[in-house]
Amino acid sequence: MSKNGLATSTTARKVVGSLGVIGAAAAVAGLGTFGTFTDSTTPVNTTLNTGTLSINATSQGTLPLAVSGLVPGDTITRAITLVNDGNLALGNVSLAATAAAPSVLTTDAVNGLQLAVKSCAIAWTQTGNTFTCASGEKTFGSGPVTSPINLAGAASLTAGATDHIAYTVTLPTTADNTFQGKSAALSLVFTGTQQTGSAR
């Protein structure tokens, strides 16, 4: 009897001990729930709008853009009105010509076609095949026809402003017989670049 009683007592203590562990776990789990006070500010409304960068070039005068029968020493001058019709100032504007099918006229940097770009404070005056500036003539640069020319200080860097541009393409007198019978289809493109971003 004593053996059976001892066994019963030991088993009972084990059960009680197990229940104690379960009860402690439940109590710890109950400690995980808390009440928290929170508050939020009223919204701070901000509106951000991006600007529009846009330039537009329009040919001026009555002369055709396509010319044939060039000989060394010939020059071709045409006028263009360049307008910054966006609402952003430009950091840079340049003019570059690309050739649809390269030939010696565009690949020979010394004897091939040369490009020069000028501006006038007012519209250019056309007389026959030439253009003259009555006031405020400025030279932007010159070089091989496919080399970009930076229009530093152009009026069109400012939103809403206009440049009166005249570009001249020249076949140098140094062009020899290898330049005969050649052609160059050129595409002239003005490119405007935004100013560097800053803290606003």
Q: Does residue 98 fall inside a structural domain? A: yes
Domain presence at residue 77: yes
CA distance 113 to 145: 5
Q: Residue 12 above 80 pLDDT?
A: no
Among candidates 143, 145, 97, 93, which has minimal Cα distance to 119? 93
Query: Cα 191 to chain center, whole Å?
Result: 9
Residue 41 forms part of a structural domain: no
- Which pLDDT score, from 0 to 100, does residue 13 have? 45
CA distance 46 to 43: 9
Provide the number of structural domains found in the chain. 1
Q: Is residue 126 part of a domain?
A: yes
Is residue 22's pLDDT more than 60?
no
Q: Does residue 75 lie within any of the structural domains?
A: yes
Tens of pLDDT, residue by residue over 104-152, are 999 999 999 999 999 999 999 999 999 999 999 999 999 999 999 999 9
Closest by alpha carbon to 105, among 141, 129, 72? 72
Domain that holds residue 132: 55-194
pTM comes to 0.76
By CB atoms closer than 10 A (0-12, 13-18, 19+), residue 123 is middle
Average per-residue pLDDT for the chain: 85
Which residue type does 196 have?
T
How far is Cα 72 from Cα 103, in angstroms, rounded to an integer? 16
List helix spans (H) across the chain.
2-30, 104-107
> CA 183 to CA 136: how far, in whole Å?
34
Measured distance CA(178)–CA(28) in Å, rounded: 97
Q: Which residue has the higher pLDDT, 198 or 73?
A: 73
Domain-located, residue 9:
no
On whether residue 12 sits in a domain, the answer given is no
Q: Indicate the DSSP class of residue 189.
A: E
- Give the domain CATH number at 61: 2.60.40
